[in-house]
Amino acid sequence: MFHSTKKNILNCFTCNEVVSREKQQKRFTKVDFFIILFGLVVYTFDIGTDLWTAKNFLCEGQYLKGILILSTGLFSSIIIQFFSYTWFKEDETENLDWAFYLLHSLYGGLFTRYYFTLKYGYQAAFISNSSTNSNLCFSAMTDISMLQLFKAFLESTPQLIFQIYIVMASEDSAFGQYVSIAMSFCSISCATVNYQIVLRKSLPDKNEFGGIFCKLIYLFYKLMTLTSWILTIVLFSMLSIIGSIVLLIFLWFGNLSWVIKQNTDFCKFKSAEYVYRMIVTIILICTFFNIKGENTAIVQSVYYIFRIIVTVILLCLCGYWKSLLDEKIYLSALIIAVVIFLTLGIISLIIYYTLFHPSIYCTQDEVDGLGVEREEPCRFSKFLIQ
């Protein structure tokens, strides 16, 4: 069924820049292949734990909780299928085979991408590691890592907030809930760090993502700032669910206004660009990243200063009305944990951008500097997560 589309898939993965850059070519290695394979395992297991948790809630008669878990997963999956199919159309020179439309309609878009990436990745890493094969694989990996990033912040993060809220608010917590929380953290961690690794490999004029310590510092920065924010939202939700919803809606509209003002051009199709902007706005509620490939030092500083101010205000509200919170919640300990996580996250951020960010090695960094002009830039040259 896929034999007739093999040529189209190869064209799709080139991302319009395979022919050039021979002098800066990065090789697709066996480690890269196993990174893809590990990502597939985490993605599959994460879906399984979500379905297991939702099934447990539904069987126990807790229909609202089960529906909320399924709803976040369904929404994330729809977005993933939409962008996966749209990017196939953007990169294709011929009409897509009907099988691609069918597979995406059945929510198999990401699995389809994994299949072809592993297939051509195996050829590049174990059989013939040509420059063309390496470029094909890196472009394919970048598409997958972006889709995983969408899943991490559209599904894993909301479910993480919901699950932690349930654990804090209820006396009895099932083992499956803790498994789901652990998998959500794992999914977010893998998606965040893997995207940086893969994107820098896919851009020939971008330095690769340092060593183990560099990756750990970056992961620590992201996880600490995100964890502090999640715990803050959970605490405020326990004080007032309506207040939390209003806050998140306010942040969403504020972020959307800023994103629209940036006039992003990540997608070729206008309809896809509008959806992209709305999804980016949701992700910006959770963490910061560069949406347009420009210097973000000032914007990022403002973002985290605002995050610190909002966090302090919410914690003060929780402390002031602590009598409204259940006595079994160790409010003081949680507030201290939030402060520690946020402090460690900001310190890690400063260390990363002072010592490890590629802008300190490249005089013309495509994202944090003036950049190197391309005749036909890859869409991912316009986006580098920070």
pLDDT tens sequence across 291-329? 765 667 788 889 999 999 999 999 999 888 877 666 656
Residues 37 and 104 in one domain: yes
Percent of the chain at pLDDT above 90? 20
Residues 118 and 256 in one domain: no
CB–CB of 233/161 below 8 Å? yes
CA nearest neighbour of 80 among 100, 44, 107: 107
Residues 173 and 286 in one domain: no
Cα R_g (the chain), whole angstroms: 21
Which of 155, 179, 208 marks a domain boundary? 208
At 282, is the pLDDT very low, low, confident or very high (cuts 50, 70, 90)?
very high
At 209, is the pLDDT very low, low, confident or very high (cuts 50, 70, 90)?
low
CB proximity list for 301: less than 8 A, separation 6 or greater: none
Residues 50 and 103 in one domain: yes
Residues 167 and 308 in one domain: no
At 141, is the pLDDT very low, low, confident or very high (cuts 50, 70, 90)?
confident
Please check whether residue 16 lies inside any domain of the structure: no
- Residue 363: per-residue pLDDT: 34
Residue whose entry in the numeric block shows the structure tokens 């629209």: 260
Residue whose entry in the numeric block shows the structure tokens 């991490």: 152
DSSP state of 263: T
Please check whether residue 353 lies inside any domain of the structure: yes
Residue whose entry in the numeric block shows the structure tokens 């807790």: 62
CB–CB of 162/70 below 8 Å? no
Residues 247 and 299 in one domain: yes
- Cα–Cα dist 324/102, whole Å: 51
Q: How many domains does the chain have?
A: 2
- Residue 203: per-residue pLDDT: 61
CA nearest neighbour of 366 among 279, 296, 272: 296
The stretches of the chain forming alpha helices (DSSP H) are: 6-14, 30-59, 63-91, 98-105, 109-122, 131-151, 157-169, 175-202, 212-239, 241-262, 270-286, 297-320, 331-351
Range of the domain at 114: 26-208
Residues 260 and 343 in one domain: yes
Mean pLDDT across 18-24:
40
Residues 56 and 86 in one domain: yes
- Residue 328: per-residue pLDDT: 56
Strand partners, 290: 384
- Residue 269: per-residue pLDDT: 84
- Cα–Cα dist 277/289, whole Å: 13
At 359, is the pLDDT very low, low, confident or very high (cuts 50, 70, 90)?
low
Q: How many residues does the chain have?
A: 386
- Cα–Cα dist 100/112, whole Å: 8
Please check whether residue 80 lies inside any domain of the structure: yes
Which pairs from 8-13 meet CB under 8 Å and 24+ separation? 8/92, 8/93, 8/94, 8/96, 8/97, 9/116, 10/120, 10/136, 11/91, 11/92, 11/93, 12/87, 12/88, 12/91, 12/92, 13/91, 13/116, 13/120, 13/135, 13/136, 13/137, 13/139, 13/140, 13/143
CB–CB of 32/201 below 8 Å? yes
Query: What type of residue is 225?
Result: T
Give the phi and the psi of residue 290 in degrees, each rounded to 5.
-75, 120
Residues 182 and 221 in one domain: no
Collapsing DSSP states into helix, strand and coil, what is residue 384?
strand
Higher pLDDT, 208 or 138: 138
Query: Quick one: tokens of 303?
Result: 């973002």
CB–CB of 146/380 below 8 Å? yes
- Cα–Cα dist 168/328, whole Å: 8
Residues 201 and 274 in one domain: no
- pTM of the predicted structure, to 2 decimals: 0.80
Mean pLDDT across 178-190:
78
Please check whether residue 241 lies inside any domain of the structure: yes
Residues 196 and 308 in one domain: no
Please check whether residue 365 lies inside any domain of the structure: no
Distances, alpha carbon 245 to alpha carbons 55, 122, 234, 238, 318, in Å: 26, 46, 11, 12, 16
- Residue 210: per-residue pLDDT: 61
